[in-house]
Chain A
Amino acid sequence: GAVVSQHPSRVICKSGTSVKIECRSLDFQATTMFWYRQFPKQSLMLMATSNEGSKATYEQGVEKDKFLINHASLTLSTLTVTSAHPEDSSFYICSASPAPHNEQFFGPGTRLTVL
């Protein structure tokens, strides 16, 4: 149980294009999902907290207009990187918590490369 999937696992795009990453909780409902970014040899940095049916809460320094988050249902959250640039290249990871538990279960991550 508590499986989280992400799609795609890898994506390469040209600078200026937009990329959508999906995060799904496969066997539980998640009212809250989290999006992280991880640069090579670094820790996970929280980008935003995604709440089903409401606006996401972004961490300081994360541009909400660049990283669009939609939490359309209790099992799906999407992150869209708009007008991607090479500096956006990173490993993006989502997580979800099956209420009322507090543990976060992580997806396998999406490797984004912007050329």
Chain B
Amino acid sequence: GQQLNQSPQSMFIQEGEDVSMNCTSSSIFNTWLWYKQEPGEGPVLLIALYKAGELTSNGRLTAQFGITRKDSFLNISASIPSDVGIYFCAGQLLLRHPARQLTFGSGTQLTVLP
């Protein structure tokens, strides 16, 4: 299936540093979602974005829906060890049939060093 271009593929950062990752697509989306997945578990929804230009925060996480509707970024401020995991972006085009299907990015593996 189709995938979004997500970067970087992996990141090694020191505890306390800020992190930024992004996704781009050749197609527009109605909704952008950001998930975190830990080993052996399913993805957990972090932030959902519904409007172009929307900027949404969830604690130390901030995500934006690009104005062109073809990109999104996720920032994590003041990283802590429990931020370790794989972060996935996902785009959703509601008019697609069947509706509500997600297209996933390739993931960003985040490692936080103490």
Interface residues of A (CB under 8 A from B): 4, 6, 32, 34, 42-46, 49, 51, 57, 59-60, 91, 93, 95, 97, 102-109, 111
Contacts and interface: CB of A to CB of B under 8 A. Distances in A.
Q: Main SS of chain B's interface residues?
A: loop
A103 B58 CA distance: 16
Q: Main SS of chain A's interface residues?
A: strand
Interface residue range, chain B: 20 to 34
A46 B101 contact: yes
Given A51-B98, A93-B42, 7 more contacts: A6-B42, A32-B100, A42-B106, A43-B88, A91-B40, A103-B48, A109-B41
B44 A106 contact: yes
B88 A107 contact: no
Contact of B1 (A45, A57, A97, A102): A45
Interface of B: 1, 3, 31, 33, 35, 40-45, 48, 88, 92, 94, 98-102, 104-107
Given A43-B88, A43-B107, A109-B40, A103 B45 contact: yes
A106 B43 contact: yes
A49 B99 CA distance: 10
A97 B106 contact: no
A105 B45 contact: yes
A59 B101 CA distance: 11
